[in-house]
Amino acid sequence: MTAPPLEPALYLVSTPIGAARDVTLRALDVLTVADVIAAEDTRTLRKLLDIHGVSLGQRRLVAYHDHSSKRAVDSLVETLDNGGSVACVSEAGTPLLSDPGYELVRAALEKGHPVRSAPGASAMLAALCVSGLPTDRFLFAGFPPAKGAARKSWLSDIAQSAQTTVLYESPRRLLATLDALLELAAPDRPIAICRELTKKFEETLRGGLREVRDEIAARSALKGEIVVVLGTEPKSSDATDVDSLLSAALARLSVKDAVAEVAQVTGLPRRDVYQNALKLVKD
């Protein structure tokens, strides 16, 4: 099947985080006909194109990463200025999510060019979904600072988060990060460590913070891409407390807003508070 033509625009193309078959048909369409492909890792991109039988032909494949110069960005925007299409691809996953792309997007928008998304795989979303932790409210925090006061402050903010938090970490620093979190959070704080998502040795460890930390510490080595999903620490609230708070909130708010307020105050899952609210309204 022939790929449809592209309108002149910057296309942010998501690529597989592991399994090559996770690429979308639209991503292949864009990669088949884009005038220029800007890739974080050109070798990885070439391999993906070869697997799916996509030929570059005479089209340009250029390196675009965090260390690319302004001249490289200007060159890509010039392609857009001349009515061409540019596909931006990170090494794996979705551009801009702890991956290159932001400066190129800003430069394209400043010149009035359309920016389009060809969505697909994302390690952050994949980990969130398999973690078993609440997904109704979450924070994506990216990579922690490598060291120093900035790292300590960053982890302290994460430990105080009132929502599920997703972060990336190096296998070499994972144990140190878990140790730091144990100094800041309860040992039974729920956590999931997702490793090598969609790949042959995919693994997810779930449990309390200390339990998972000890399991990681017992291993001789840890390899692969790591995503950490940290749950919240529910405040202790018995049913009577929740009902009292809900009754007061329902007297001045809608059911939806009352549930949101009480869930925020108690730290309980919104769906649990909602069930309590339904019973109170019915009674």
For residue range 92-142, list pLDDT tens digits in order.
999 999 999 999 999 999 999 999 999 999 999 999 999 999 999 999 999
Give me the phi and psi of 224, to 5 degrees please.
100, 175
The confidence score (pLDDT) of residue 283 equals 72
Model pLDDT for residues 46-69, shown as the tens digit of each residue: 999 999 999 999 999 999 998 899
Contacts of 237 (CB under 8 A, 6+ apart): 245, 266, 267, 268
Burial 210-247 (b: 16+ CB within 10 A, else e): bebbeebeeeeebeebbbbbbbbbeeebeeeebbebbe
Q: How far is CA 33 from CA 47, 119, 181, 186, in A?
A: 17, 17, 47, 52
Query: Sorting pLDDT into bands at 50, 70 and 90, what band is 237?
Result: low
Q: How far is CA 139 from CA 26, 32, 58, 163, 180, in A?
A: 28, 34, 42, 7, 19
Model pLDDT for residues 129-180, shown as the tens digit of each residue: 999 999 999 999 999 998 889 999 999 999 989 899 999 999 999 999 999 9
26: its two tokens:
């639209």
Query: Sorting pLDDT into bands at 50, 70 and 90, what band is 236?
Result: low
Does the pLDDT of residue 248 top 70, yes or no? yes
The secondary element (H helix, E strand) that includes residue 206 is strand 203-208
The mean pLDDT value for 222-251 works out to 82
The confidence score (pLDDT) of residue 273 equals 86
* Counts for the chain of helices (H) and strands (E), in that order: 11, 10
Does the pLDDT of residue 258 top 70, yes or no? yes
The confidence score (pLDDT) of residue 75 equals 97
The confidence score (pLDDT) of residue 239 equals 60
Give me the phi and psi of 194, to 5 degrees please.
-105, 130
The confidence score (pLDDT) of residue 113 equals 98
**Residue among 70, 75, 127 at smallest CA distance from 98:** 127
Query: Sorting pLDDT into bands at 50, 70 and 90, what band is 19?
Result: very high
Q: How far is CA 196 from CA 63, 164, 234, 258, in A?
A: 25, 21, 29, 40
Q: What helix, strand, coil percent values describe the chain, rounded to 5?
A: 40, 20, 40
Does the pLDDT of residue 186 top 90, yes or no? no
Query: Sorting pLDDT into bands at 50, 70 and 90, what band is 234?
Result: low
Helix ranges, the chain (H): 25-33, 42-51, 70-81, 102-110, 123-130, 148-159, 174-184, 209-217, 239-250, 255-266, 270-282
The mean pLDDT value for 201-205 works out to 96
Model pLDDT for residues 40-52, shown as the tens digit of each residue: 999 999 999 999 9
5 HSE (CA, 13 A, CB side): 4
Q: Would the pTM of this model clear 0.95, i.e. be above it?
A: no
Tell me what the pLDDT averaged over the chain comes to. Answer: 92
Q: In sequence order, what are the beta bridge partners of 93?
A: 15
